[in-house]
Chains A and B, each alone.
Chain A
């Protein structure tokens, strides 16, 4: 897949944005319940860097994305993009969703050009741009197919193309490779990291997979469980361009062990507070306390 990565003039470089979250809080009030999803969350998503966010389920990652994208408003604090406050959805902050959000009733081509079309860009320009980007992601021959007729990996590439053609200042990816089989997932990571290394752009990537996180990231942010806060920021100093062989490097394994430790700590806390998402730890904590040993 690397062979398709030749520079394409249609995708402009340099529209890098910087997102600053300052003491952001988000509280949900439902009936009598009061859920503090985020509390005093401060983070800078640096210009041109790939920031990866991890944390136990239910730590407010999705809320965070929704607020950066402008689908929801924070209860307190400010979110700014290049110094200007974020208000409502806009095409300078595009999200690639967990479950594919390609419009199933449009062909790949129509999906990719949708944004440009509704913004009223000149059709000839759209066509040229779309062709370039479709070739870039290796989907040019598939442009007339519907999303359901593509493989999972192709769908993800189509979605990346739909976002990139609009030249967003920040690209937000919410567990984009979830649901793909392990093999496709690894190849997509390679493809995506290649794309990133070529074009830069500010990226925020959310994932559950520890290997994926370390393989991709410039900076790894680990969140705490309810209320969501920044627990740790780890600079990933693996050299770029990244290569799959790094997965077997000792530096990689070191970072992995360190990250796992932090995540385990958070999951235990989540488990202790009764989160169903951290349920997997049941039995594990008990057996580690030696209160109950497996005996043949």
Chain B
């Protein structure tokens, strides 16, 4: 869910959207937002599965330190989605899903 109005930050002025796909599903998300945030806004909390035990992982530090939110973005694995902004036509995949 996006926070559209906020007592301190005011109403969201940036309403420009871009198109992305996540695991093949098209989504319209707010331009300039970080991938992880755009996904959270759409209820997507799992960014990757671990290699050993195939456990789901999501955003944890939010500032590019912990690398737990990495996904495959435009074919590139291990992209830290909490500090990478969405771009038009970005293709995003849950990492190590299967």
A and B interact: no
